[in-house]
Copies of this chain bind each other. A is one copy, B any other.
Protein backbone atom coordinates (compact mmCIF):
# COMPACT_ATOMS: atom_id res chain seq x y z
CA UNK A 1 0.00 0.00 0.00
CA UNK A 2 1.90 3.01 -1.20
CA UNK A 3 -0.93 5.51 -0.94
CA UNK A 4 -1.49 6.64 2.62
CA UNK A 5 -4.77 7.14 4.39
CA UNK A 6 -4.39 10.78 5.29
CA UNK A 7 -6.29 13.00 2.93
CA UNK A 8 -5.61 16.17 4.90
CA UNK A 9 -1.90 15.75 5.04
CA UNK A 10 -1.12 18.09 2.19
CA UNK A 11 -3.54 20.85 3.18
CA UNK A 12 -2.97 21.07 6.90
CA UNK A 13 0.50 19.83 7.52
CA UNK A 14 1.87 23.36 7.84
CA UNK A 15 -0.37 24.07 10.82
CA UNK A 16 0.63 20.87 12.52
CA UNK A 17 4.31 21.47 11.85
CA UNK A 18 3.89 24.70 13.78
CA UNK A 19 2.38 22.81 16.71
CA UNK A 20 5.24 20.37 16.65
CA UNK A 21 7.92 23.02 16.56
CA UNK A 22 6.53 25.83 18.66
CA UNK A 23 4.82 23.93 21.42
CA UNK A 24 6.82 20.74 21.53
CA UNK A 25 4.02 18.37 20.52
CA UNK A 26 5.62 15.24 19.07
CA UNK A 27 4.40 13.60 15.84
CA UNK A 28 2.26 10.58 16.62
CA UNK A 29 3.91 8.77 13.71
CA UNK A 30 7.03 8.41 15.90
CA UNK A 31 5.29 6.12 18.38
CA UNK A 32 2.75 4.44 16.09
CA UNK A 33 4.87 1.39 15.25
CA UNK A 34 5.28 0.57 18.95
CA UNK A 35 1.53 0.37 19.63
CA UNK A 36 -0.01 -3.11 19.58
CA UNK A 37 -3.14 -3.08 17.37
CA UNK A 38 -3.42 0.69 17.03
CA UNK A 39 -6.89 2.24 16.84
CA UNK A 40 -8.05 3.33 13.39
CA UNK A 41 -7.65 6.98 14.42
CA UNK A 42 -4.01 6.21 15.10
CA UNK A 43 -3.49 4.29 11.87
CA UNK A 44 -5.25 6.95 9.80
CA UNK A 45 -3.47 10.01 11.13
CA UNK A 46 -6.60 11.35 12.84
CA UNK A 47 -4.45 11.31 15.94
CA UNK A 48 -1.45 13.24 14.70
CA UNK A 49 0.47 14.35 17.78
CA UNK A 50 1.24 13.52 21.38
CA UNK A 51 3.09 14.44 24.53
CA UNK A 52 4.87 11.75 26.50
CA UNK A 53 2.88 8.94 24.88
CA UNK A 54 5.95 6.76 25.42
CA UNK A 55 4.79 6.03 28.96
CA UNK A 56 1.45 4.82 27.59
CA UNK A 57 3.22 2.72 24.95
CA UNK A 58 5.21 1.19 27.79
CA UNK A 59 2.06 0.45 29.79
CA UNK A 60 0.29 -1.00 26.73
CA UNK A 61 3.18 -3.31 25.93
CA UNK A 62 4.01 -4.28 29.49
CA UNK A 63 0.28 -4.68 30.28
CA UNK A 64 0.67 -2.30 33.21
CA UNK A 65 -2.20 -0.25 34.59
CA UNK A 66 -2.85 3.22 33.25
CA UNK A 67 -5.71 5.69 33.08
CA UNK A 68 -7.50 7.30 30.15
CA UNK A 69 -9.15 10.55 31.21
CA UNK A 70 -11.53 12.77 29.35
CA UNK A 71 -14.34 15.17 30.02
CA UNK A 72 -17.53 16.40 28.41
CA UNK A 73 -19.34 19.68 28.91
CA UNK A 74 -23.07 18.95 29.18
CA UNK A 75 -24.44 21.89 27.23
CA UNK A 76 -25.95 20.29 24.16
CA UNK A 77 -26.45 17.00 22.44
CA UNK A 78 -23.63 14.51 21.94
CA UNK A 79 -22.78 14.06 18.27
CA UNK A 80 -20.27 12.15 16.16
CA UNK A 81 -17.57 14.63 17.10
CA UNK A 82 -17.99 13.46 20.71
CA UNK A 83 -18.18 9.84 19.58
CA UNK A 84 -14.61 10.26 18.34
CA UNK A 85 -13.48 10.86 21.90
CA UNK A 86 -15.74 8.14 23.31
CA UNK A 87 -14.29 5.63 20.82
CA UNK A 88 -10.80 6.43 22.04
CA UNK A 89 -11.77 6.12 25.71
CA UNK A 90 -13.23 2.69 25.06
CA UNK A 91 -10.25 1.59 22.99
CA UNK A 92 -7.88 2.46 25.83
CA UNK A 93 -10.10 0.69 28.31
CA UNK A 94 -10.21 -2.41 26.12
CA UNK A 95 -6.44 -2.25 26.04
CA UNK A 96 -6.03 -2.20 29.79
CA UNK A 97 -6.82 1.32 30.94
CA UNK A 98 -9.02 2.47 33.76
CA UNK A 99 -11.46 4.90 32.11
CA UNK A 100 -12.14 8.07 34.08
CA UNK A 101 -14.70 10.47 32.63
CA UNK A 102 -15.79 13.78 34.11
CA UNK A 103 -18.88 15.78 33.24
CA UNK A 104 -18.03 19.49 33.44
CA UNK A 105 -21.41 20.50 34.83
CA UNK A 106 -20.02 23.25 37.03
CA UNK A 107 -18.94 25.24 34.01
CA UNK A 108 -22.14 24.45 32.10
CA UNK A 109 -24.12 25.77 35.06
CA UNK A 110 -22.06 28.82 35.98
CA UNK A 111 -20.90 29.94 32.54
CA UNK A 112 -23.63 28.69 30.21
CA UNK A 113 -26.44 29.26 32.67
CA UNK A 114 -28.00 25.80 32.59
CA UNK A 115 -29.79 24.70 35.75
CA UNK A 116 -28.15 21.92 37.78
CA UNK A 117 -31.01 19.58 36.85
CA UNK A 118 -30.50 20.30 33.16
CA UNK A 119 -26.74 19.74 33.46
CA UNK A 120 -27.39 16.40 35.09
CA UNK A 121 -29.95 15.36 32.51
CA UNK A 122 -27.76 16.29 29.53
CA UNK A 123 -24.66 14.78 31.13
CA UNK A 124 -26.39 11.45 31.69
CA UNK A 125 -28.78 11.28 28.72
CA UNK A 126 -26.50 12.62 26.04
CA UNK A 127 -23.03 11.70 27.12
CA UNK A 128 -22.82 8.92 29.68
CA UNK A 129 -25.56 6.76 28.20
CA UNK A 130 -23.97 6.89 24.74
CA UNK A 131 -20.54 6.21 26.20
CA UNK A 132 -21.87 3.14 27.97
CA UNK A 133 -23.81 2.08 24.86
CA UNK A 134 -20.58 2.27 22.85
CA UNK A 135 -19.10 -0.41 25.09
CA UNK A 136 -17.72 1.07 28.33
CA UNK A 137 -16.94 -1.60 30.90
CA UNK A 138 -18.25 -0.76 34.39
CA UNK A 139 -15.48 -2.73 36.05
CA UNK A 140 -12.68 -0.44 35.04
CA UNK A 141 -14.35 2.94 34.86
CA UNK A 142 -15.17 5.88 37.07
CA UNK A 143 -17.70 8.44 35.89
CA UNK A 144 -18.18 11.66 37.85
CA UNK A 145 -19.83 15.04 37.79
CA UNK A 146 -17.37 17.86 38.55
CA UNK A 147 -19.82 19.56 40.88
CA UNK A 148 -19.96 16.44 43.05
CA UNK A 149 -16.29 15.57 43.13
CA UNK A 150 -14.62 17.05 46.21
CA UNK A 151 -11.18 15.58 45.50
CA UNK A 152 -11.07 17.31 42.11
CA UNK A 153 -12.10 20.65 43.60
CA UNK A 154 -9.68 20.46 46.49
CA UNK A 155 -6.84 19.40 44.21
CA UNK A 156 -7.72 22.23 41.78
CA UNK A 157 -7.39 24.70 44.63
CA UNK A 158 -4.00 23.27 45.54
CA UNK A 159 -2.80 23.32 41.93
CA UNK A 160 -3.90 26.95 41.81
CA UNK A 161 -1.33 27.83 44.46
CA UNK A 162 1.42 26.79 42.04
CA UNK A 163 0.53 29.05 39.14
CA UNK A 164 0.39 32.81 39.06
CA UNK A 165 -1.41 35.37 36.95
CA UNK A 166 1.55 36.10 34.69
CA UNK A 167 2.01 32.43 33.86
CA UNK A 168 -1.69 31.97 33.12
CA UNK A 169 -1.79 35.09 30.99
CA UNK A 170 1.25 33.92 29.02
CA UNK A 171 -0.41 30.58 28.25
CA UNK A 172 -3.98 31.69 27.69
CA UNK A 173 -3.71 35.37 26.92
CA UNK A 174 -5.95 36.33 29.82
CA UNK A 175 -6.64 40.03 30.25
CA UNK A 176 -8.29 42.32 32.77
CA UNK A 177 -11.71 41.38 31.41
CA UNK A 178 -11.20 37.66 31.99
CA UNK A 179 -13.49 36.51 34.75
CA UNK A 180 -12.01 34.63 37.65
CA UNK A 181 -13.76 31.33 37.03
CA UNK A 182 -12.51 31.22 33.46
CA UNK A 183 -9.07 31.11 35.03
CA UNK A 184 -10.17 28.57 37.61
CA UNK A 185 -11.32 26.25 34.83
CA UNK A 186 -7.70 25.81 33.80
CA UNK A 187 -6.68 24.27 37.12
CA UNK A 188 -9.96 22.38 37.40
CA UNK A 189 -9.05 20.63 34.18
CA UNK A 190 -5.61 20.09 35.65
CA UNK A 191 -7.22 18.44 38.66
CA UNK A 192 -9.45 16.34 36.40
CA UNK A 193 -6.31 15.08 34.73
CA UNK A 194 -4.23 14.53 37.87
CA UNK A 195 -6.71 13.44 40.54
CA UNK A 196 -6.65 9.78 39.54
CA UNK A 197 -3.05 9.79 40.78
CA UNK A 198 -4.09 10.71 44.34
CA UNK A 199 -3.61 7.89 46.80
CA UNK A 200 -7.35 7.75 47.45
CA UNK A 201 -7.76 6.73 43.78
CA UNK A 202 -5.06 4.90 41.82
CA UNK A 203 -1.93 6.54 43.23
CA UNK A 204 0.83 7.57 40.80
CA UNK A 205 -0.10 6.06 37.42
CA UNK A 206 0.35 7.01 33.76
CA UNK A 207 -2.63 8.98 32.46
CA UNK A 208 -3.44 9.67 28.82
CA UNK A 209 -5.79 12.47 27.77
CA UNK A 210 -7.07 12.28 24.17
CA UNK A 211 -7.89 15.83 23.07
CA UNK A 212 -7.95 18.24 20.16
CA UNK A 213 -4.94 20.49 19.71
CA UNK A 214 -6.93 23.42 21.07
CA UNK A 215 -6.78 21.75 24.49
CA UNK A 216 -3.00 21.56 24.53
CA UNK A 217 -2.58 24.65 26.77
CA UNK A 218 -4.34 22.71 29.55
CA UNK A 219 -2.02 19.76 29.03
CA UNK A 220 1.08 21.94 29.12
CA UNK A 221 -0.11 23.77 32.21
CA UNK A 222 -1.00 20.52 33.97
CA UNK A 223 2.35 18.89 33.15
CA UNK A 224 4.09 22.00 34.40
CA UNK A 225 2.12 22.18 37.66
CA UNK A 226 2.47 18.42 38.23
CA UNK A 227 6.24 18.78 38.27
CA UNK A 228 5.99 21.83 40.56
CA UNK A 229 3.86 19.83 42.98
CA UNK A 230 6.35 17.00 43.16
CA UNK A 231 9.08 16.94 45.78
CA UNK A 232 11.57 15.27 43.47
CA UNK A 233 12.47 15.96 39.88
CA UNK A 234 14.16 13.22 37.84
CA UNK A 235 16.00 14.26 34.70
CA UNK A 236 18.17 12.49 32.18
CA UNK A 237 21.39 14.37 31.51
CA UNK A 238 24.57 13.79 29.57
CA UNK A 239 28.03 13.62 31.13
CA UNK A 240 31.10 15.10 29.43
CA UNK A 241 31.58 11.91 27.40
CA UNK A 242 28.02 12.20 26.12
CA UNK A 243 26.76 9.31 28.25
CA UNK A 244 23.34 9.53 29.87
CA UNK A 245 23.05 9.79 33.62
CA UNK A 246 20.15 10.52 35.95
CA UNK A 247 19.82 13.60 38.07
CA UNK A 248 17.40 13.64 41.00
CA UNK A 249 16.69 16.96 42.65
CA UNK A 250 14.56 17.56 45.73
CA UNK A 251 12.70 20.68 46.79
CA UNK A 252 12.76 20.99 50.55
CA UNK A 253 12.98 17.22 50.97
CA UNK A 254 14.59 16.07 54.23
CA UNK A 255 18.36 15.79 54.08
CA UNK A 256 18.52 12.03 54.32
CA UNK A 257 16.12 11.48 51.39
CA UNK A 258 18.88 10.92 48.86
CA UNK A 259 20.75 8.49 51.07
CA UNK A 260 17.51 6.57 51.47
CA UNK A 261 17.02 6.50 47.71
CA UNK A 262 20.59 5.23 47.30
CA UNK A 263 19.94 2.46 49.84
CA UNK A 264 16.84 1.40 47.92
CA UNK A 265 18.75 1.33 44.64
CA UNK A 266 21.53 -0.76 46.16
CA UNK A 267 19.00 -3.27 47.41
CA UNK A 268 17.07 -3.55 44.16
CA UNK A 269 19.35 -2.92 41.21
CA UNK A 270 21.37 -5.69 39.72
CA UNK A 271 23.42 -3.40 37.50
CA UNK A 272 26.38 -1.65 39.06
CA UNK A 273 25.83 2.04 39.45
CA UNK A 274 27.52 4.95 41.15
CA UNK A 275 25.71 7.72 42.96
CA UNK A 276 26.95 11.19 43.88
CA UNK A 277 24.77 12.37 46.74
CA UNK A 278 24.53 15.89 48.12
CA UNK A 279 21.94 17.64 50.32
CA UNK A 280 19.41 18.56 47.66
CA UNK A 281 20.57 16.57 44.72
CA UNK A 282 21.91 13.25 43.52
CA UNK A 283 23.46 12.06 40.26
CA UNK A 284 23.31 8.41 39.32
CA UNK A 285 25.65 6.98 36.75
CA UNK A 286 25.53 3.58 35.10
CA UNK A 287 21.77 3.18 34.54
CA UNK A 288 21.26 2.23 30.93
CA UNK A 289 18.53 -0.39 31.10
CA UNK A 290 14.86 0.54 31.08
CA UNK A 291 14.31 -1.83 33.99
CA UNK A 292 16.91 0.01 36.06
CA UNK A 293 15.34 3.35 35.24
CA UNK A 294 12.04 1.99 36.46
CA UNK A 295 13.64 0.85 39.71
CA UNK A 296 15.00 4.38 40.17
CA UNK A 297 11.66 6.03 39.44
CA UNK A 298 9.85 3.62 41.76
CA UNK A 299 12.32 4.23 44.59
CA UNK A 300 11.99 8.01 44.28
CA UNK A 301 8.21 7.72 44.07
CA UNK A 302 7.99 5.57 47.19
CA UNK A 303 10.04 7.97 49.23
CA UNK A 304 8.08 10.97 47.95
CA UNK A 305 4.81 9.30 48.95
CA UNK A 306 6.22 8.46 52.38
CA UNK A 307 7.07 12.15 52.77
CA UNK A 308 3.47 13.08 52.01
CA UNK A 309 4.22 14.20 48.43
CA UNK A 310 2.20 13.33 45.36
CA UNK A 311 4.85 11.84 43.03
CA UNK A 312 2.69 12.72 40.05
CA UNK A 313 3.69 11.10 36.77
CA UNK A 314 3.46 13.85 34.13
CA UNK A 315 0.29 13.13 32.15
CA UNK A 316 0.40 12.10 28.50
CA UNK A 317 -1.82 13.41 25.74
CA UNK A 318 -2.75 12.73 22.16
CA UNK A 319 -4.07 15.28 19.68
CA UNK A 320 -6.69 14.52 17.07
CA UNK A 321 -8.08 16.39 14.12
CA UNK A 322 -11.69 17.44 14.24
CA UNK A 323 -14.33 16.29 11.80
CA UNK A 324 -15.82 19.01 9.63
CA UNK A 325 -19.50 19.78 9.79
CA UNK A 326 -21.87 18.08 7.34
CA UNK A 327 -22.62 21.47 5.85
CA UNK A 328 -18.93 22.27 5.43
CA UNK A 329 -17.29 24.51 8.03
CA UNK A 330 -17.09 23.55 11.68
CA UNK A 331 -19.12 20.84 13.30
CA UNK A 332 -21.00 22.48 16.15
CA UNK A 333 -23.58 21.37 18.68
CA UNK A 334 -25.38 24.64 18.19
CA UNK A 335 -25.86 24.07 14.44
CA UNK A 336 -28.04 20.94 14.19
CA UNK A 337 -27.53 20.62 10.42
CA UNK A 338 -23.75 20.48 10.89
CA UNK A 339 -23.79 17.34 12.98
CA UNK A 340 -25.58 14.09 13.66
CA UNK A 341 -26.62 13.49 17.22
CA UNK A 342 -26.13 10.09 18.80
CA UNK A 343 -29.71 10.15 20.03
CA UNK A 344 -31.08 11.57 16.77
CA UNK A 345 -33.80 9.84 14.77
CA UNK A 346 -31.93 7.47 12.37
CA UNK A 347 -34.08 8.38 9.39
CA UNK A 348 -33.63 12.12 9.86
CA UNK A 349 -29.89 11.52 10.25
CA UNK A 350 -29.85 9.62 6.96
CA UNK A 351 -31.59 12.57 5.30
CA UNK A 352 -28.97 14.93 6.69
CA UNK A 353 -26.28 12.79 5.08
CA UNK A 354 -28.10 12.98 1.75
CA UNK A 355 -28.07 16.78 2.06
CA UNK A 356 -24.48 17.11 3.18
CA UNK A 357 -21.58 18.82 1.46
CA UNK A 358 -19.39 16.49 -0.61
CA UNK A 359 -16.15 16.82 -2.52
CA UNK A 360 -18.00 16.37 -5.78
CA UNK A 361 -17.45 18.51 -8.87
CA UNK A 362 -19.88 20.91 -10.48
CA UNK A 363 -21.18 18.37 -12.99
CA UNK A 364 -21.21 14.61 -13.34
CA UNK A 365 -19.10 14.93 -16.48
CA UNK A 366 -16.48 16.98 -14.69
CA UNK A 367 -16.43 14.54 -11.80
CA UNK A 368 -15.99 11.55 -14.14
CA UNK A 369 -13.11 13.37 -15.75
CA UNK A 370 -11.34 14.92 -12.74
CA UNK A 371 -12.50 12.61 -9.95
CA UNK A 372 -13.98 13.69 -6.61
CA UNK A 373 -12.08 15.33 -3.81
CA UNK A 374 -12.42 13.21 -0.64
CA UNK A 375 -10.31 15.69 1.34
CA UNK A 376 -13.13 18.20 0.93
CA UNK A 377 -15.96 15.74 1.50
CA UNK A 378 -17.92 15.46 4.75
CA UNK A 379 -19.36 12.11 3.63
CA UNK A 380 -15.87 10.71 3.18
CA UNK A 381 -15.06 11.99 6.65
CA UNK A 382 -17.98 10.01 8.04
CA UNK A 383 -16.48 6.87 6.49
CA UNK A 384 -13.00 7.84 7.58
CA UNK A 385 -13.79 8.64 11.20
CA UNK A 386 -16.73 6.38 11.92
CA UNK A 387 -18.43 4.22 9.36
CA UNK A 388 -15.65 2.13 7.83
CA UNK A 389 -13.37 0.18 10.13
CA UNK A 390 -11.48 -1.67 7.43
CA UNK A 391 -8.64 0.40 6.00
CA UNK A 392 -8.76 -1.43 2.67
CA UNK A 393 -12.45 -0.79 2.22
CA UNK A 394 -11.85 2.87 2.98
CA UNK A 395 -8.95 3.07 0.57
CA UNK A 396 -11.16 1.53 -2.08
CA UNK A 397 -13.77 4.26 -1.57
CA UNK A 398 -11.08 6.91 -1.73
CA UNK A 399 -9.60 5.50 -4.93
CA UNK A 400 -12.96 5.13 -6.64
CA UNK A 401 -13.87 8.67 -5.68
CA UNK A 402 -10.62 10.16 -6.88
CA UNK A 403 -10.80 8.24 -10.15
CA UNK A 404 -14.29 9.55 -10.89
CA UNK A 405 -15.80 6.06 -10.78
CA UNK A 406 -17.82 6.59 -7.61
CA UNK A 407 -20.29 9.47 -7.82
CA UNK A 408 -21.62 11.43 -4.85
CA UNK A 409 -25.20 10.16 -5.07
CA UNK A 410 -24.18 6.51 -4.66
CA UNK A 411 -21.65 7.37 -2.01
CA UNK A 412 -24.12 9.43 0.05
CA UNK A 413 -26.67 6.66 -0.18
CA UNK A 414 -24.09 4.21 1.13
CA UNK A 415 -23.19 6.55 3.99
CA UNK A 416 -26.84 7.27 4.79
CA UNK A 417 -27.60 3.54 5.03
CA UNK A 418 -24.59 2.98 7.28
CA UNK A 419 -25.56 5.93 9.51
CA UNK A 420 -29.14 4.74 9.80
CA UNK A 421 -28.03 1.21 10.66
CA UNK A 422 -25.49 2.46 13.19
CA UNK A 423 -27.93 4.77 14.94
CA UNK A 424 -30.68 2.17 15.05
CA UNK A 425 -28.30 -0.25 16.71
CA UNK A 426 -26.74 2.40 18.95
CA UNK A 427 -30.09 3.59 20.20
CA UNK A 428 -31.14 0.07 21.08
CA UNK A 429 -27.89 -0.17 23.02
CA UNK A 430 -28.63 3.21 24.64
CA UNK A 431 -31.95 1.81 25.86
CA UNK A 432 -30.09 -0.99 27.60
CA UNK A 433 -27.35 1.37 28.84
CA UNK A 434 -29.96 3.54 30.56
CA UNK A 435 -30.97 0.53 32.64
CA UNK A 436 -27.35 -0.08 33.59
CA UNK A 437 -26.47 3.40 34.91
CA UNK A 438 -26.35 2.19 38.49
CA UNK A 439 -23.64 -0.31 37.57
CA UNK A 440 -21.55 2.78 36.80
CA UNK A 441 -22.46 4.47 40.07
CA UNK A 442 -24.70 7.06 38.41
CA UNK A 443 -27.72 8.19 40.44
CA UNK A 444 -30.27 9.50 37.98
**A residues bordering B, Cβ < 8 Å?**
106-107, 109-111, 115, 147-148, 150, 153-154, 157-166, 168-169, 174-184, 186-187, 308
* Best-buried of A109, A161, A175 by chain B (most CB within 10 Å): A161
A56 to B181, CA, bound (A): 31
* Option from B107, B165, B182, B184 in Cβ contact (under 8 Å) with A177: B165
Q: Quick check: A164 and B150 within 8 Å, CB to CB?
A: no
In the assembled complex, the Cα of A436 lies from the Cα of B162 at a distance in Å of 39
Instruction: Select one of B109, B111, B184 contacting A180, CB under 8 A.
Output: B184
In contact, A165 and B161 (Cβ under 8 angstroms): no
A-B contact pairs, 9 of them (CB 8 A): A109-B158, A147-B150, A150-B153, A160-B181, A160-B184, A161-B179, A162-B179, A163-B180, A183-B183
Q: Which of B106, B157, B174, B179 contacts A181 (CB 8 A)?
A: B157
CA distance A15 to B148 in the complex (A): 45
A115 neighbours in B (Cβ, 8 Å): 308
- Tell me the bound Cα distance from A181 to B181 in angstroms: 11
Complex CA–CA separation, A351 to B175 (angstroms): 55
Question: How far, in angstroms, from A308 to B168 measured CA to CA in the complex?
Answer: 33
DSSP class of A's interface residues: helix, strand, loop or mixed?
A: helix
Closest to A111 in B: B161
**Quick check: B178 and A165 within 8 Å, CB to CB?**
yes
User: Which B residue's beta carbon lies closest to that of A180?
Assistant: B160
- CB-based contact A110/B147 at 8 Å: no
Q: Is the CB of A176 within 8 A of B169?
A: yes
* B166–A180 CB distance below 8 A: no
Interface centre among A148, A179, A308 (most CB of B within 10 A): A179
3 closest A-B pairs by CB: A160-B181, A166-B176, A160-B180
Decide: A106 and B157 in contact? CB cutoff 8 A. Answer: yes
Most buried by B among A110, A165, A182: A165
Complex CA distance for A111 and B162, rounded to whole angstroms? 10
- Is B176 within 8 A of A161, CB to CB? no
Choice from B107, B109, B150, B176 contacting A150 with Cβ under 8 Å: B150
- Closest Cβ neighbor of A149 among chain B residues: B150
Report B-chain residues with C-beta under 8 Å of the C-beta of A177. Answer: 164-166
A186 CA to B180 CA, complexed, in Å:
10
Q: How far is the CA of A150 from the CA of B153 in the complex (A)?
A: 9
CB <8 Å contact, A154 and B111:
no
Residues of B within 8 A of A106 (CB): 154, 157
